[in-house]
Each structure stands twice: as structure tokens, then as C-alpha cells.
Structure 1
């Protein structure tokens, strides 16, 4: 019998990445092993109450008074003026300073992480990030690269659309080329500087061509349902494993079981969950527009409000709060209106719910397109669509029996497999492999 293994999780400190890691960490603990999370100080105490060990570091570039996720929510304000535009416009006009800070953020806590790794002495490290973190690469310990985003962000292949484009898999290759050229012109110099620092300051080998991270020589993992993944157009690379989901248990993050508010209990109409994600829900212009449009619907809406809650008045058919227990709510509803974050998409499919996807940035476009072309929902621009267009889309999806049947079938398939446990075992197995 294997001795107790100590797993160190180092996620990018956003709700999406942390929640995915929690989904696996729960299973590792069930197997009798130990888990520690390394998080920025803003998250102090947020995971210990759910039974996880926690060590914090200090990112000197951040405001010490910020709460969890505030740093990333504020970073969206830097690109707020481009949110209504399409992916190509964003590629052409992305804030270079914001992107450079995002890339080099991985180095801000590197020295402190080295000390933490020596202190914890883990058997294996799991990194959930977009960029290489040198302290992990140089730790002398086995480590696993994990992505909580769409696989397009990590696995580059000539037959898959450019990351962040939202282009169809059978789309115009010239359009792909234009997007790639624009992205390379924008991102290339920054990634090249990052690569130089990794090589010259930290002694790492050069980044793989077209990549911003070094894949693990031991194991690399991602979550994406088989029926949604790109396995129909590209193979799974060596040392990579796909899992259907990394969904956390519904009890994590709340002490209570969610109950439908009285405001909506006695109203007629379908029940619809609305969330633009932990970052998108901070955008007041978008929140007000969605409320105005959805107030014209005959259906009932549960809405994540974020920092906008105190700045808007909700109509009779909408109830909202700063945060909502999404994993508890999705099984209750008939439809999900989402920004298209990876966790939200996977959770919706796991519970068999069709989607209206309103992508705001990055891989949300890719998820929106993939969900649309696989027949699990439709995509729309929430800033520019006509109100009737969104309202009609809601009605169409609710009444599309074929789409609802597809969602039911993928849900049944996903729920037959304990993907989180499979991922946990794969991580533990890395420790014993020669």
C-alpha cells in the first residue's frame, strides 16, 4: 500500500482555477492523502474552512487591502472598453501593459514559492497556470501541468482554431492565419522577453515554439467533455490526459443549501441562471443591459451580481446576489446564460443544461463556438445584440427538443464517470512511477 502522498497545488489565484483544483483535491483527500494550496495572501483563510491546508505568499505588485479575486476583477477594467467588440478587434487592440503584467505575474512570487516548496516538501506539485513558474520547474520534484481553461490554450495544433478567436473548426484558414499573425505581433515580443528571462535569469530551457509554458515531462491534464473536445480534429499529445470535468462538490464554498427565493417561487415561467463570471459581473454597463432585456421576459432569473448589486434595481422576475452557489443552482434551472468560462460550460453540460453563451474575452470565445457547433447552445454578443434577438434565442433553446436531448445525453454520459477521482489517481500515480 502506498504511503500518504503530499500534493501541493499552485493555481492561478482566480475562482475558476482554484475551484477546478478543489474538485481534484477533494478526491485526493478521500484517497487518504494530504493536500496543501499555495495562494496569494488575499485568499487567506478561504480554503482552510473547507478542510484544505493553505500557505500564502505575498505578491508585492498588489494592493494588500484587496480581497480574493479583486486583483483580477480590476484588471478587466483595463480592457473594459474592448469588451463589446469581437475577438479580432480585441487581438488588434489588447492593452499591452495589462498582458505583460499578466505574463510576468508568474515571477512575482517565485522566490517565496521556492521557500514554500522546501518547507512543505511535497511529493508532487500541481501547477494550474498559463505560464511557466520557474520555482516548480527547478524544484527537483515531480510536477504536473494542469489547465482549467479550454484545451486550445494549452495544446496547439494546425487543425484547431487559434486560441481566443472563437473561430469554427471548419472555418476559413485564411481567417485563422490573420488572427494568428495579429496575435503574434501583439504577444510575441512579450512572450519572447519572458522566455529570455526564464533562460538567462533562471537557467530554464527555451519555451516550446508557440507556447508560454513548459509542459511537464511527467503528466499534463485538462478537463473537457469528450463530446465537446477537439479529439475529432487532433490527437491527444504524449504525456497528456483528458478528463470530463474537475467539478467541485456543491457544498464547497457555502454552509447552506440554496433555496429558491420567495420572490420567484410563485411566479410562472422557466427558471434561468445568469452569470457573467467572477470578473464579468463587475461590469455595470453589461449588468444593466442584461437586466433591462431580461426584465421583458416571461421567465424567472437567478443572477450573479458581483459588485453591481448595490448599483442596480432588480425587476420582479429577477433575483440576484453578489455571489451564488453555482454548482447547487445549475441542477435546478432550465437554461444557463453564461460568459462561457470553462467551469461554467462544463458544469452546465454535467447537469444537462443548454446554454446561451455571451463571451467577453479569451477562451470564452472558443467555448462559445464549440458549444454552438456541437449543438449544446448558442452564442451571442450581450453588448450589441438587439433585445429581441436575445429573448428569441432564449425561447428557441428552451423549446429545442433536440438540443435539450443532446444536453441530457451528455449529462448522463458524464455522470457515469468519476472524473475527479480519475484525475486524483493519475496525480498520485505520478509519484510511484519510475
Structure 2
């Protein structure tokens, strides 16, 4: 009897990466493998809800699991003043400090992760993160990289710089961003390179913190938003998934006291973006005046909203794929998970990014005609009503998105990922 393959999935401590990996794990389980999750302690319980075994990384610091849980919320709260800046200005104020914080968490996790992997002995490790862990490179089994940020994370001369929000055609802006980025992150890159070398792992090129897997790399960028690369990726090692959407139970839309038959719009800036309650309250004050229904994800901050308009329904958590099936437009921060799910369900995106690859996805959405980009540094709240009206009325975009959705859903990206993982030579 063939041995059941043990696949250890290790997403970063963010819901986007975690939920992408759950979709892949669902397909791995259907194909007879045993997917399990390595997770940070404060994410324990999420994967068990979907029926998967969890292996939390033991804490190496004196911080409790609860304190770790709020680490990034506090980091985001401190960074809120920088979210109204341009991507170029954010390099020094947000991006470089974020890399330093990410590196801190990776270094802290290294030895506990080594110990866990030596006990677990997986056949394959699936890493969905933005930094490398030497424990994974040295685990003695194949490892897979999931690129769940924008495709810009993989550099190419014909692709805009990662996190820049630039268009590839704007070479002056691309060059300026790259020069400033490399200079700002050089200290973090040097520190991380020394850490990798001290653990027997080769460092990444300047400005990068994670190398590609020599075995398999899975990209979540769907066909409609892919770039024409100057150096095409080897299809044997780089597999596009055309969406990587988990399965959820159906969502029952609540009744609204006002505009109950109007278009339904979902608004979510992710678990971290919800920390900017000032922005969320300004948005709610605006959408209260519009003739639509709104589902609004306010994350862990539900108690901060004492009054709710009759055309708005707030919650701290939504099963996003189930919700999007019922909606007409998706207002989001440009996180790759949200952007891909909007395309998967044929919804136009109205993107108000606050940081990271949200800028890249927002620029790309408008460039290829699948949404609108409302920069935070250009008063997006004031322009939101007209943008929503335009998206709801754009029949050509609606038909284009319908075609994309049908193709993506027929492709079944989670199954493509699972089959590619199980087809690795060492299995």
C-alpha cells in the first residue's frame, strides 16, 4: 500500500495566506494526501475549523500567544499615519520598518521550527510567506513556495517593482522607486543575510528576502492580470493557479431595513486594515447616504461602532468566498487574496490600498479594466460614490469579468496546486 503523503503547509500569520493554503489543503485531502498546518500559536484553531491537524510553533520569546496575536495589530495601528502617503514615501516610513519586524519574527521562529520539523518529518513543506526560514531549506524534503502576493513579488525587467504601485510603462517612476527601495531596505537585507548564512542557507539577491523554490513555485496571479515577462517563467517550476479559492458553506444575506432590494456591496480591508477605524468610520458615513446595501468587515474592532446605518451590516468576520457569490461590487485594500477572489466571482474591484502589494494590485486592476484605483493620498472617500456608480453601470466590464470568472472557476486552481505538489519527483 502506498504511503499517505504528509504535506505540511506553513502560511504566514495573516488570514490571506492562511485561507489560500486552506483551499490547497482541501484539494490535497481530496486527492488522498494528509495535509497538516504549521502555524503561529495565535492562529491555532483556524485550521482545525476546516478539519486539519495543527502544529503550533512553540514560542521562543516571553510574549504570550495573546501578545503575539496583537503584535501586528499594534504595528499597523502605529503605522496608520503613513497609509495616506504615496508608495514612494512609504518606503522609509512603513516598508523598511515592516521588513525589520518580519525578520524579527522569522529569527524568533527558527529554532522552534527546526525542532518541530524534525519531529513531524513531512514529505513536502508548502511555504506561503515573504521571507525564508533556514529550517525549511534544511529539512531534507522538497519545499514549495506560494506567491500569494502580487506577481510583482517575482522581479522581471518588464514587471513594475514590488510594492511600488507603478505601471511597467513608467520607466522613470520604476527606476526611482527601485533605487530608493534598495537603499532603504539594505540594512534589513544585510541583517537577514547574516542570519541565513549562520544557519547554512544562501541569502537572496539585494532587496529580496525569499528565493524561489528549486522544486515548485505556485503563483496566485490570474490570467487577466498577469504580466508579459521579459524572461518567461519555466512552466515546470512555476505554476499559475488562476485563483486559489477555498470552499465555504453558503452565506445567507441578512435583511436590511433600507434599500433591501438594492445592489449588495462588500467592504473589507482585511484583518489588519480594520485597525484604521477612523478611515472605516469615514467610509461608513459616506456609504450611509448611498442607495445600496453594504456588508462591512470591521475585524476585531466591532465594539467601536456604536451606531450602524440601516443599509449597513457590520461583522467581525465573513466567510469571504461565500459572501462574494452574493455581491455586485467588492471594495477592498488590494490584498492579493481579495483581488483574486473578486476576479474569481466576477466582481469589479474598487481598491483603496493602504500599503504593501495593495498598491500593485490597485494599479493593475485599473490598467487592465477590472476595477478602479482610489489612492488614499487623493481623498478616496470623496470620490467613492461616483466610482461605485460607474462600476455598477459598466456593462462591458461586467461581461469581461463574467468571462474571466467562468474560466477561473472551470480551472480549479486549488486542484492544480495539489496535483503539482503531489507530482514532485521525491514523492
TM bracket, shorter-chain basis: over 0.9
Deviations 1:284-319 (A, max 9, x none): 111111111111111111110123322222211111
**How far apart, CA to CA, are the structure 2 residues paired with 1:396 and 1:19?**
31
1:215 lines up with 2:208 in the alignment? no
**How far apart, CA to CA, are the structure 1 residues paired with 2:126 and 2:292?**
42
Secondary structure at the counterpart of residue 256 of structure 2:
helix
Q: Aligned ranges for residues 13-412 of structure 1 at < 5 Å? A: 13-61=13-61, 63-66=63-66, 70-94=70-94, 96-153=96-153, 155-171=154-170, 173-199=171-197, 201-231=198-228, 235-237=232-234, 239-251=237-249, 257-263=250-256, 267-312=260-305, 313-382=307-376, 384-385=378-379, 387-412=381-406
Deviation at 1:388, TM superposition (A): 4.4
Secondary structure at the counterpart of residue 45 of structure 2:
coil
Deviation at 1:206, TM superposition (A): 3.2
- Note the residue ranges of structure 1 that are not aligned, 5 or more in a row: 252-256
Alpha-carbon distance change, 176 to 204 in structure 1, aligned in 2, over 3 angstroms: same
CA contact 1:43–1:68 (8 Å) conserved in 2: no
Deviations 1:69-94 (A, max 9, x none): 53322221231110111211111423
Deviations 1:211-244 (A, max 9, x none): 2112211111111111211136652246222111
Deviation at 1:283, TM superposition (A): 1.1
Deviations 1:24-57 (A, max 9, x none): 0001100111011111111223322321011111
TM-score (norm 1): 0.93
Alpha-carbon distance change, 61 to 229 in structure 1, aligned in 2, over 3 angstroms: farther
**How far apart, CA to CA, are the structure 1 residues paired with 2:379 and 2:322?**
30
Deviation at 1:327, TM superposition (A): 0.9
**How far apart, CA to CA, are the structure 2 residues paired with 1:348 and 1:81?**
28
CA contact 1:78–1:98 (8 Å) conserved in 2: no
**How far apart, CA to CA, are the structure 1 residues paired with 2:280 and 2:119?**
44
**How far apart, CA to CA, are the structure 2 residues paired with 1:169 and 1:2?**
48
Deviations 1:183-217 (A, max 9, x none): 11111121122112211x11222323442112211
CA contact 2:352–2:376 (8 Å) conserved in 1: yes
**How far apart, CA to CA, are the structure 2 residues paired with 1:214 and 1:14?**
20
**How far apart, CA to CA, are the structure 1 residues paired with 2:292 and 2:39?**
40
* RMSD, aligned α-carbons: 2.0
**How far apart, CA to CA, are the structure 2 residues paired with 1:182 and 1:208?**
16
- Note the residue ranges of structure 2 that are not aligned, 5 or more in a row: none
Counterpart of 1:254?
Answer: none
CA contact 1:8–1:35 (8 Å) conserved in 2: yes
Alpha-carbon distance change, 176 to 308 in structure 1, aligned in 2, over 3 angstroms: same
Secondary structure at the counterpart of residue 239 of structure 2:
strand
TM-score (norm 2): 0.94
CA contact 2:157–2:229 (8 Å) conserved in 1: no
**How far apart, CA to CA, are the structure 1 residues paired with 2:13 and 2:338?**
17
Secondary structure at the counterpart of residue 295 of structure 2:
strand
CA contact 1:41–1:56 (8 Å) conserved in 2: yes
Secondary structure at the counterpart of residue 332 of structure 1:
coil
CA contact 1:14–1:69 (8 Å) conserved in 2: no
Alpha-carbon distance change, 82 to 15 in structure 1, aligned in 2, over 3 angstroms: same
Alpha-carbon distance change, 415 to 46 in structure 1, aligned in 2, over 3 angstroms: closer
Secondary structure at the counterpart of residue 430 of structure 1:
coil
**How far apart, CA to CA, are the structure 1 residues paired with 2:224 and 2:247?**
23
Deviation at 1:9, TM superposition (A): 0.9
Return structure 1 stretches of 4+ with deviation > 6 angstroms. none
Alpha-carbon distance change, 261 to 89 in structure 1, aligned in 2, over 3 angstroms: same
